[in-house]
Structure 1
Amino acid sequence: MHRLALSAKRKVLLNPKTVSIYFFAILFTFLLAYHQRLGQHNNELHISRVVNMRSFVKEANNLSNSQKNPNIFEPKNEVCQRPLTESSTNFNTFDLFESVVAKGNTLPPASKKSRTEKLKVYVLPFTHVDPGWLETFERYTKSTNQILDNMHQFMMKNEKMRFMWAEFVFFERWWSLQNEQVKEDVKKLVTEGRLELATGSWVMTDEANPYFPVSVDNIVEGFQFIHKNFGIKPQTMWSNDPFGYSNSVPYLFKKSGVHRTVINRIHHKLKQTLQSQKAIPFKWRQYFDATGEDDVLTQILPYTHYDILNSCGSDASVCCEFDFKRMTHWSCPGPKPEKITNANVAAKAEKLVNQLEKMSEMYKAPVILMMHGDDFRFDMIEEWNQQHDNFIPVFDEINKGSRVEIRFGTFTDYFNDLEKWYSNNKDSEPPTVSGDFFPYMCALGDYWTGYYTTRPFFKRQGRLLHSLIRNGDIMLSMLRVNLKQRKIGENVKRLEAARRNLALFQHHDAITGTSKVSVMDNYSELLHASIVSTNIVLENLTKSDIDLYPRIHDGIELQTIVDLESSEKEIRIFNSHLFEITDVFKIRVKEREVIVSIDGKIIEAQLEPFFQKSKVEKDSFLLLFQATVLPLSMMKVKVQRGDSGGLTKMAKIEAKDTNAWDLGSSWTIASSTSAPNLETPYFKVSNDPITGAIQSVNKLSDNSKFHCQQSFYNYKEAGGGAYLMRLHTNPKEIIEYQWLKVSGPLRQSIYQKSTNVLQRLSIHNVEGPSGEEVDISMSIDITKERNTELMTRFSTKWDKPLTYTDSVGMQLLRRDFYKLPVQSNYYPMPTAAVLQSGKQRLSIVSNVEHGARFLESGTVEINIDRILNQDDGKGLGTGPDAIPIDMKPVDMKFKLIFDSLESDPTENSRYSTHSFRAQQAVQTIIYPPMMFNRPPKKEEDIEEIEEISNLKFPCDIQLLTVRPLEDNKQLLILYRHATVCSSQKVGNCGGELKSSLMDLLIKLGAKQVQKTDLSGVTRVGGIIKVEYLPDYELKTFDFLTLILYR
């Protein structure tokens, strides 16, 4: 009977007349509803609808383009990235390095063609100013102020002169001291194209060590300053001094509207090879960009350095004759420069033309850029007159002839003419190049790979400050709707000052650790002052005390004892991420009898010994408990003295040698000779019975087993310095360890102790990502060593696996082992090193920058710390202030993530991406949940961050920041990672962007939004009300940047 009824119903529904009736009824209902809504909101929504329609058309076009590029897509409810494909380019640096450097091959040179066109040459005067190196930033400011004063004075009187500036941390200082007339004059110079504001970031960043959200902040800070004061933004990125180049950094600038770049320090043999192929300039293409839409036109300076001796051609002695400051200062390798007169101008012009023509043989296009400057040049008004007054007659003489046309010019002049020539010569398109330019080897054969690791204490300071600023920005954005304007202003000023100090530290002689001892100490003081200032913001916003922070500028983070004697405490845990976190959290207490509760319910807790500065603090315990913190929420946990009814448990302690550990009277250590293995219902770690070192891992969820054996090595008698790694002996394995096993219901740990290292390796008894990763904390102290490089190795026993390190956290780049010296095989590891064999992958992520190399045996070697007792000849000089022996004890963390992927990688792929779990591990190790403590809430407390959150962003979306802009506006930046497919489900995030984005905007108190480029300067479309938010397209490897209006 039931089936007959359904069958009859089906006949009615499928009848053509019935279908037509239903169709027109639905259509009429829709049109009526739309008409009513249109009549009600026609005026206020007209602009919004036009914007939405334009956005719809544009995004439809973008979607069409993205379908041509298999790596760029918007995954609606997909859980991971489809198999990666790679862009096709004329050259990629991975293959070039293997062929030219590792195998010693020489590519046949490109054919020479006789040039018939007149050569165009643009001479660009500049000064290279380091915001800290041999002197502190403040001391250098005196010189840069003088240079800029001279620039204004001279260029207002000499219309043919051109100049370029790229360090805006200095420019802002000078600008703030100028009167309105000077400012108007300089604006005129910029508007007329005589003064070029290049790069635009706050500083010229290092490109090996930063994490990309800091690089984005560096760009935003500088671009906002330039746009506010000049109404423009830079068109060219000038990066002459970093020691190697990331392919991700120019991509960030391209997303900010910069499509040209000039670089310099690449591997000497790669530079020679590209020149022999006439492959400079080139279009720098991302591995994932199959269409070339994000290409950056790239010029590389032609010779070994950026100074004047390497500017005009291959003969440095001839070029030196055109450094007219040397008429009165310094000398030359050949004839000294002479004042240009009628008697010598013809001969001098001929000399310069000959050099320029030789240099032009490296290029296809008859357009040449000749940089003319050096470190802190043009600080004397005398030099401005010397360079200008002597070049002008030389230019005039050359321009009389038919061979060369030459004048002072800017990057814009050069690139405009270059692009025009390529446009008119379609058969001579610039070649395409993919990949990065690490490692850097200079013309002397030295590998600049030590600075990836040099002075890790300072690197850790920078990462800590970045995490705090980001927390401060996000919290202030969430709470500002209830704050008084005065309080908002005070907090914004503190965060701006801290952000600028952090941006200063991204400078290529700061985060690298390659400045003098006194300068590094000054950077440390600035970072610590900003940490303290940002902590004040955070404590004011939460009305709580911060749990973990450094007390002094050269000290590690110390954990506060939570005082339970006077009253119970409320522990607050802030999750700054777009995904929920379930993990084990810890505080320091004095009491053994402790109750931990959430929402009035007592929960399980664990007490264990508290280690700090590599030793046990006998006056306190480490209290651990499990909690789940929702996205962008503040979890509250109550802790008080009292009987927990057995739910707070003391950990069990075992050791191979009980006499090696002094834990105090609170703990009993059991002697054990068996292997100190660790196990939870989700994870099992097997350890060596002698050293306690990890040997293998078994993931019980899918019964997959990974060999992962850790060891430590010292390279003694190291001969490098702050910049260089020079290793002359084989490494010596550290085998003298004592181990201590600490077991409890929430966490199991193995401590290893040697002369310079105290390491804790733990697994957590929680379900989800945190329960299937190995957590490592290292306390390092090599201050008493001499010429030592300390390494840790993780060996997988995989036969020639695919190996990668990350490029500023945005993508993974292939790194192979070559039979070259150790230092030649080292690469930057700003956040991660990855090994993969078949479908198994080991990802090692860290909260501190390192250098890393891979061995043939499936082993990664990570440089942990280094102390060098000599200068390496790269500019720091000699004496106690120049030698990098100012090492400080440093704490650092690692996580090991073991993935079983759904498909094998492509063996010839030169890049890859993280799994969801590894990507989230990078974010949580750099931005861990932040903990506060305070007495229980009082009724008069202001509105606070909620415990609940309905945000369900896709797993591949990262919240970079919600930072303040002027006029009570904010800048929200999201990034969509590409991720490889793993068999493990993440389960702590959602699959749809629009609704969660709308919920986030409401949570942040935004009433209207406007889309911009990455810098926040160029607006895209109009201002849109949040309730009519369009379905923004956010492709992988791309950013969504919105200005928020309240």
Structure 2
Amino acid sequence: MAAHGNTAVLVLFSFLQVCVSGFPTNNREPVCGYKSCPATQPSMLNVHLVPHTHDDVGWLKTVDQYYYGDRNDIQHAGVQYILDSVVEELQKDPTRRFIYVESAFFYRWWKQQKQATRRIVTQLVNEGRLEFINGGWCMSDEATTHYSAVIDQMTLGLRFLNDTFGPCGRPRVAWHIDPFGHAREHASMFAQMGYDGFFFGRLDYQDRERRKKAKELELLWRASESLSPPTADLFTGILPNGYNPPDGFCWDQSCTDSPIRDDPDLEDFNVHDVVQLFLETAHNQSKIYKTNHIIMTMGSDFQYENANLWYKNMDKLIRYVNGQQAAGSKVNVLYSTPSCYLQELHRANSTWALKTDDFFPYADDAHDFWTGYFTSRPALKRYERQSNSLLQTCNQLEVLGGPRSRSGPFGKGSSDFMRRAMGVAQHHDAVSGTEKQHVAYDYARRLATGWDYCQILVMNSLAVLSGSDDMRAFCEGLNISVCPLTESSKMFTMSVYNPLAHPISWYVHLPVNGSAYSVTDAQGKPVASAVIHISKATQVLRGDRGFAQNELVFQVQAPPLGYSTYSISLLQNRPLPPPPRPKAPLTMQNKYLKVTFDPATGLLSSLSNLETKQSIQLSQNFYWYNASAGNNEESNQPSGAYIFRPNTSTPFIISKTAKIQTVQNGVVQEVRQVFSPWVSQVVRLHEESRELELEWTIGPVPFQDGLGKEVITRLDSSIKTAGYFYTDSNGREVLERRRDYRPTWKLIQSEPIAGNYYPINSRAYIKDKEAQLTVVTDRSQGASSIVDGSLEIMLHRRLLYDDVRGVGEPLNETGEAGPEGLVVRGRLLLTLTPPDTAANTHRPLAQGQVLQPLLSFTEGAPKPSTRLQFSGLQAALPPAVHLLTVSQWDYDSVLLRLEHQYQSGESKAFSQPVTVNLQKLFSQVEVLGATEMSLGANQWKSEMSRLDWRPSTGTAAPPPKRPADPSPWEVTLNPMEIRTFLLRVRQS
């Protein structure tokens, strides 16, 4: 979609087309991509050797240590030397190829190169000899990442490649060779970014064996139930050796395989043996793939520091194996890339097995399910989610505040630091929680630096928008009732910025020491509030970081993409009366929900929706699974950072009863439950809330009994589930799960607990014909339904053994509590609704948990000239539309993504096409032109073309012919559709 007469926006096309300014390589037209692929032999078995390195953006060492080659006592790895060596070796022979994946590392290396080296690299890229694959800032995890953060990190890497190398830098293949299971939403995103194919290495061992027999290791993945095929169709290939070379053919300095010794005068001449082994390997591999083309990954973790070793031996391998063709051999070996291999598969004009589910959970043996990392390092997972929310706010305010937001009264602010830190955090050994402890600290440190720069930008922007340059405080410890300003001030102001495109209502809990306060909104109207005691669990958790005795609770509202200001003044400062003794029977109720508790146990007993007149029996408690130490008869596999393996199928209950205290007033009702010295919870119902809040606190997890523990909460209901439950995929579409079942193959279940766990990024639910119980989470976690009517969520893990998957240390976090262990606090939100309207509630509720309002505080009353309320939008967007991205792209351009947040048929009210007018979108930013882009924002949508693939069942899907937008400025979104635009703007 392009606005009529918008010639100026065409200038922006230069960033997509430019190679490196000032670095002309030669006068020849670039022949990169498919045009650069080597010739193959149609009548032979073509073996595509793909030289590559897999460079983790942090794992056993930090990002910096990996790049520089530091701390080689931990792992010998130095990315800068890999790139140096590969570039040198590629120049020696034009037939050689190499692929590179992680833009975070290449960006660092490129910045350090001289112009002469940059010219050489640009020529290698333009000739297709150095090819970028995947191209994101990192190779992201697929289970614990939120789709918005994945899109951001991909955009960051792809833009760098585009700006640096133009069209020849654009990857055509997605490459996730190491993540531990594969999400359907990732495939959908890759398809919408314009990728022609997707290759990965890890596959459930049972699924792999079945696919080998059926020759279905290459398939067509239909990755959305809502988007019309082939919009989310993605050709997917499963690599034969993970991402390693075949046995006997690893020639890195870290390998022990014999080099090719080709001097016939020497006694250890081995060319014949190597050739015969390779021919046998190639023929065996060809038996499990459909075409006369096979791929071999020649490389592994941090290999090619001395690329000469690899290339010298591969040169010989190609020469000697192909030399056998004169004697009748039908094997042809060549240097290649995944995209060149993909092109040959496309030329085969074959049909491919169709898959519509995902690749979770992943197991590499009968008792080795990689489902523990869905929850590993829960505090880091929460910090990453909060950082994503702050980044979106930072991006939005950079646009709304204009240039002065980047350099204003509080100094130079920037979203770049957080953008890169978040890009690194999406790595499959980062937010996944599968890194060494010192690396986890490094990820958190990077995010903290991003917070510092973003907060400066936020202060600058709010100063511009409000007209007040008062210093603001950001209280990052509100979840443990810590905020020095509110604790000590008798009068303060609070701004609530809402990053959503819809107005919000939100309850705040502020640490205070007074017993009564006056709260007024931006119009000077009084706001109902209450002061309650801070719980003992919170006082213990915060330690000496705060001194507030009470919490001030009230409801705030904020306009879409804007802020509202509240003034708070102390009225009374006297001790609160002690909390009353609990009444029996115990009930919490507002006009939407009714919650009852068993007076004998203090546990939940029922939940009722008063609007829909639904009621279910509902109990909730906390349990733990004893982690296997790897010393039983069935298997020696222990639980660890990656793998969840309980040593029994029955969890241990922490306590059958809870000691309780109650809080009841006109603003909030709470039942505070203590289950043990290390497990407590607040069940909370705010006056205007349609959801029940469970705020859990767990830790330090005891381990004096010598056993690691996997701590869960379990909700047992009267809902008739018949073995089915539902989990989200990266926060977007929801997938149906069935206990002890896989849609693709007949499962032999060997781990009835771990083998039924799935990742949830934002929500999970159970339902029957009458009711749906949905749980919305505040971070990525693992979940399952082991018993009918039940939903369990793993909240915390503390383990005493390494699971022998490379990290080399047990997952035993300590944190603030010292050696006693890490304490983690989080929230679950529960809703009870009819199934046919449930999405109307859980979709916006989940988005509100991902993009939470940002609170900032100033001392005293606001100045008379201060603008107390502001919205960056002319009007709220329709309920079905989510504003996914508003980000400054260039000095006069803004990147915009609009998302339809409902699945097809999910909601009678909202699963319909909806239209948005781009010119009527912003209140202070004038949109002068708009051009639609791919989801990854690295090519124009009108020029995006993808290879077409035919499923073996049915016919090939023609490109969907969507109706034209109503006008140049009006864009229509269909269910689950994301549309990306580059806007030319004038900012005030």
Normalised by the length of structure 2, the TM-score is 0.83
Three-state SS of the structure 2 residue aligned to 1:715 is: strand
Please state how far the C-alpha of 1:783 moved relative to its aligned partner.
4.5
Letter in 2 for 1:957: V
Q: 1:910-949 residue pairs with structure 2 within 5 A? A: 915-934=839-858, 935-938=860-863, 946=870
Three-state SS of the structure 2 residue aligned to 1:185 is: helix
Q: Distance in 2 between matches of 1:1011 and 1:717?
A: 51
Please state how far the C-alpha of 1:439 moved relative to its aligned partner.
0.7
Please state how far the C-alpha of 1:399 moved relative to its aligned partner.
4.5
Tell me if the contact between 2:261 and 2:271 (Cα under 8 Å) persists in the aligned partners.
Answer: no
Match of 1:403 among 311, 323, 330: 330
Q: Distance in 2 between matches of 1:259 and 1:712?
A: 46
Match of 1:696 among 570, 583, 606: 606
Q: Distance in 2 between matches of 1:607 and 1:541?
A: 32
Match of 1:860 in 2: 791
Q: Distance in 1 between matches of 2:552 and 2:587?
A: 22
Match of 1:1010 among 918, 931, 934: 931
Tell me if the contact between 2:252 and 2:304 (Cα under 8 Å) persists in the aligned partners.
Answer: no
Q: Distance in 2 between matches of 1:1008 and 1:331?
A: 59
Three-state SS of the structure 1 residue aligned to 2:460 is: helix
Is 1:523 the counterpart of 2:462? The answer is no
Is 1:449 the counterpart of 2:371? The answer is yes
Q: Distance in 2 between matches of 1:471 and 1:484?
A: 12
Match of 2:555 in 1: 626
The 10-residue stretch of structure 1 (800-809 or 737-746) with the greater mean CA deviation from structure 2? 800-809
Q: 1:76-87 residue pairs with structure 2 within 5 A? A: none
Three-state SS of the structure 2 residue aligned to 1:842 is: strand
Match of 2:219 among 282, 285, 304: 282
Match of 2:384 among 462, 465, 478: 462
Q: How many residues align?
A: 874
Q: Distance in 1 between matches of 2:786 and 2:903?
A: 26
Q: Percent identity?
A: 24
Cα–Cα, structure 1 residues 503 and 149, in superposed 2: closer, same or farther, change >3 Å?
same
Cα displacement string for residues 923-982 of structure 1 (whole angstroms, at most 9, x for unaligned residues):
1122222222224333666x7861696523221211222122234422111211224879
Please state how far the C-alpha of 1:727 moved relative to its aligned partner.
0.7
Q: Distance in 2 between matches of 1:429 and 1:964?
A: 43
Q: Distance in 2 between matches of 1:248 and 1:990?
A: 21
Cα displacement string for residues 873-929 of structure 1 (whole angstroms, at most 9, x for unaligned residues):
1112258999999952222111112111348xxxxxxxxxx6021011111122222
Q: 1:970-989 residue pairs with structure 2 within 5 A? A: 970-979=894-903
Match of 1:324 in 2: 251
Match of 2:341 in 1: 414
The 10-residue stretch of structure 1 (385-394 or 526-535) with the greater mean CA deviation from structure 2? 385-394
Cα–Cα, structure 1 residues 533 and 364, in superposed 2: closer, same or farther, change >3 Å?
same
Cα–Cα, structure 1 residues 983 and 498, in superposed 2: closer, same or farther, change >3 Å?
closer
Please state how far the C-alpha of 1:391 moved relative to its aligned partner.
2.4
Match of 1:17 in 2: none
Q: 1:898-913 residue pairs with structure 2 within 5 A? A: 898-902=832-836
Match of 2:729 among 807, 819, 823: 807
Please state how far the C-alpha of 1:550 moved relative to its aligned partner.
4.1
Please state how far the C-alpha of 1:846 moved relative to its aligned partner.
0.6
Cα–Cα, structure 1 residues 1029 and 1004, in superposed 2: closer, same or farther, change >3 Å?
farther
Cα displacement string for residues 196-233 of structure 1 (whole angstroms, at most 9, x for unaligned residues):
10001100000000110000001100010000001021
The 10-residue stretch of structure 1 (456-465 or 518-527) with the greater mean CA deviation from structure 2? 518-527
Q: Which runs of 5+ in 2 are unaligned?
A: 11-40, 69-77, 463-468, 541-545, 630-638, 741-748, 944-964
Match of 1:797 among 700, 718, 731: 718
Match of 1:667 in 2: 577
The 10-residue stretch of structure 1 (353-362 or 1004-1013) with the greater mean CA deviation from structure 2? 1004-1013
Cα–Cα, structure 1 residues 45 and 363, in superposed 2: closer, same or farther, change >3 Å?
closer
Normalised by the length of structure 1, the TM-score is 0.78
Match of 2:697 in 1: 779
Q: 1:146-157 residue pairs with structure 2 within 5 A? A: 146-157=81-92
Q: Distance in 2 between matches of 1:880 and 1:251?
A: 32
Letter in 1 for 2:727: T
Cα–Cα, structure 1 residues 50 and 527, in superposed 2: closer, same or farther, change >3 Å?
closer
Q: Distance in 2 between matches of 1:592 and 1:893?
A: 26
Cα–Cα, structure 1 residues 1001 and 991, in superposed 2: closer, same or farther, change >3 Å?
farther
Letter in 1 for 2:364: C
Cα–Cα, structure 1 residues 758 and 196, in superposed 2: closer, same or farther, change >3 Å?
same
Cα displacement string for residues 501-525 of structure 1 (whole angstroms, at most 9, x for unaligned residues):
1110111111111111211122222
Cα–Cα, structure 1 residues 376 and 753, in superposed 2: closer, same or farther, change >3 Å?
same
Cα displacement string for residues 59-117 of structure 1 (whole angstroms, at most 9, x for unaligned residues):
xxxxxxxxxxxxxxxxxxxxxxxxxxxxxxxxxxxxxxxxxxxxxxxxxxxxxxxx994
Cα–Cα, structure 1 residues 282 and 398, in superposed 2: closer, same or farther, change >3 Å?
farther
Please state how far the C-alpha of 1:251 moved relative to its aligned partner.
1.3
Match of 1:266 in 2: 203
Match of 1:823 among 754, 763, 775: 754
Cα–Cα, structure 1 residues 714 and 544, in superposed 2: closer, same or farther, change >3 Å?
farther
Match of 1:77 in 2: none
Is 1:129 the counterpart of 2:129? The answer is no
Cα–Cα, structure 1 residues 796 and 174, in superposed 2: closer, same or farther, change >3 Å?
same
Q: Distance in 2 between matches of 1:227 and 1:1044?
A: 18
Match of 1:560 in 2: 483
Q: Distance in 2 between matches of 1:678 and 1:578?
A: 32
Tell me if the contact between 2:260 and 2:271 (Cα under 8 Å) persists in the aligned partners.
Answer: no
Q: Distance in 2 between matches of 1:489 and 1:591?
A: 31
Please state how far the C-alpha of 1:1030 moved relative to its aligned partner.
2.7
Q: Distance in 2 between matches of 1:226 and 1:219?
A: 11
Is 1:957 the counterpart of 2:888? The answer is no
Tell me if the contact between 2:387 and 2:447 (Cα under 8 Å) persists in the aligned partners.
Answer: yes
Letter in 2 for 1:958: H
Cα–Cα, structure 1 residues 531 and 718, in superposed 2: closer, same or farther, change >3 Å?
farther
Is 1:206 the counterpart of 2:141? The answer is yes
Q: Distance in 2 between matches of 1:882 and 1:453?
A: 13
Match of 2:538 in 1: 614
Match of 1:715 in 2: 625
Letter in 2 for 1:438: F
Please state how far the C-alpha of 1:395 moved relative to its aligned partner.
4.2
Q: Distance in 2 between matches of 1:485 and 1:516?
A: 35
Cα displacement string for residues 757-792 of structure 1 (whole angstroms, at most 9, x for unaligned residues):
2211111212xxxx2111222222234435011110
Match of 1:889 among 816, 823, 829: 823
Cα displacement string for residues 981-1026 of structure 1 (whole angstroms, at most 9, x for unaligned residues):
799989xx9995324x43323443433222111111212469xxx9
Q: Distance in 2 between matches of 1:1000 and 1:948?
A: 9
Match of 1:227 in 2: 162
Three-state SS of the structure 2 residue aligned to 1:1033 is: strand
Match of 2:972 in 1: 1033
Cα–Cα, structure 1 residues 120 and 231, in superposed 2: closer, same or farther, change >3 Å?
same
Q: Distance in 2 between matches of 1:701 and 1:983?
A: 18
Tell me if the contact between 1:583 and 1:764 (Cα under 8 Å) persists in the aligned partners.
Answer: no
Q: Distance in 2 between matches of 1:882 and 1:848?
A: 18
Please state how far the C-alpha of 1:456 moved relative to its aligned partner.
0.5
Is 1:367 the counterpart of 2:301? The answer is no
Cα–Cα, structure 1 residues 999 and 673, in superposed 2: closer, same or farther, change >3 Å?
same
Tell me if the contact between 2:197 and 2:234 (Cα under 8 Å) persists in the aligned partners.
Answer: yes
Q: Distance in 1 between matches of 2:329 and 2:150?
A: 46
Q: 1:519-558 residue pairs with structure 2 within 5 A? A: 519-542=439-462, 543=469, 549-550=475-476
Q: Distance in 1 between matches of 2:235 and 2:905?
A: 33
Cα–Cα, structure 1 residues 924 and 387, in superposed 2: closer, same or farther, change >3 Å?
same
Q: Distance in 1 between matches of 2:178 and 2:113?
A: 29
Tell me if the contact between 1:900 and 1:984 (Cα under 8 Å) persists in the aligned partners.
Answer: no
Q: CA RMSD in A?
A: 3.2
Match of 1:1042 in 2: 981
Cα displacement string for residues 397-431 of structure 1 (whole angstroms, at most 9, x for unaligned residues):
24544411211111121111111112xxxxx3122
Is 1:832 the counterpart of 2:763? The answer is yes
Please state how far the C-alpha of 1:734 moved relative to its aligned partner.
1.9
